[in-house]
């Protein structure tokens, strides 16, 4: 199977057919196109994903979930894709990207804060002007002219994504509050305060060279895209406050 992500053709030597359905909206239709890189999955890769998932559940003090090998293969594939994409100045980011009038806005937060709910408020508020790019793990390509956000099949439990790319106009860190308020982080101290969250939400590589490359790309990302902090409730007004606040 071949898929197209970030304008790259990726050949996947999968073990199970499930991922073919999982990636159906991103399958390359050009069978003769040369692959930019090839992904292969072993039993060791699947077992790694199983152990990692179990460790995360234990850390979060929730019952350990038991996933099928077919699903774990999708995680293993995306992990390997993320490693390869670093060579193309592209990082995997944990957050929701929604586009309004063709421009992308990324929302990120601690788990359970309400990223997906906030993105839904945008879709409800802006109607046909809004398009869900990716609700969970978009790819961000950092270029000399700015940052481009891409939809991917790895799009969260509600499977919300579109196979498009949009320029990223802002990154917004969400915090729950009774009243809606947004600020742009424009001083060195403010930007530094956002750094741990940005790092936490970026794919982490166990390869030292790739880890260094990731940190370089994070620095470039934070220089290229304005960063905001949104204190918000889950009322429709939050979408308006966020959108208007990121138009400066």
The answer, yes or no, to whether residue 31 has pLDDT greater than 90, is no
pLDDT, tens only, 189-211: 999 999 999 999 999 999 999 99
Strand, coil or helix: 181: strand
Percent of the chain with pLDDT over 70: 100
Diameter of the chain measured on Cα atoms: 55
| H or E element, residue 85 | helix 69-85
Name residue 150's beta-bridge partners: 139, 165
Q: What does the pLDDT look like over 154-171, one tens digit per residue?
A: 998 889 999 999 999 999
Chain-centre distance for alpha carbon 125: 22
pLDDT of residue 40: 97
Q: Is the pLDDT of residue 32 over 90?
A: no
- Averaged pLDDT for residues 114-127: 88
Asked if the model's pLDDT at residue 130 lies above 90, the reply is yes
Contact 133, 143 (CB under 8 A): no
| pTM score, whole prediction | 0.95
Q: Rounded to an integer, what distance in angstroms lies between the CA atom of residue 27 and that of residue 45?
A: 22
Mean predicted lDDT score pLDDT of the chain: 94
């Amino acid at each position: 199977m071949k898929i197209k992500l970030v304008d790259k053709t990726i050949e996947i030597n999968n073990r199970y057919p499930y991922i073919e359905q999982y990636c159906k909206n991103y399958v390359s239709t050009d069978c003769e196109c040369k692959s930019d890189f090839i992904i292969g999955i072993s039993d060791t890769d699947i077992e790694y994903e199983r152990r990692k998932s179990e460790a995360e559940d234990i850390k979060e003090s929730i019952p350990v979930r038991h996933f099928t090998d077919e699903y774990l293969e999708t995680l293993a594939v995306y992990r390997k894709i993320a490693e390869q994409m670093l060579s193309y100045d592209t990082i995997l980011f944990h957050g929701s990207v929604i586009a309004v009038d063709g421009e992308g806005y990324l929302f990120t937060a601690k788990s359970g804060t309400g990223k997906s709910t906030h993105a839904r408020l945008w879709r409800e508020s802006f109607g046909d002007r809004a398009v869900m790019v990716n609700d969970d793990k978009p790819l961000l390509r950092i270029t000399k002219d700015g940052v481009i956000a891409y939809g991917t099949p790895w799009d969260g439990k509600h499977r919300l994504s579109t196979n498009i790319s949009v320029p990223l106009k802002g990154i917004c860190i969400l915090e729950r509050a009774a009243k809606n308020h947004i600020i742009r982080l424009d001083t060195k101290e403010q930007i530094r305060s956002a750094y741990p969250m940005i790092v936490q939400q970026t794919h982490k590589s166990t390869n030292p060279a790739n880890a260094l490359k990731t940190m370089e790309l994070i620095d470039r990302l934070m220089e290229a895209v304005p960063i905001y902090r949104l204190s918000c409730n889950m009322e429709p007004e939050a979408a308006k406050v966020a959108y208007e606040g990121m138009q400066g």
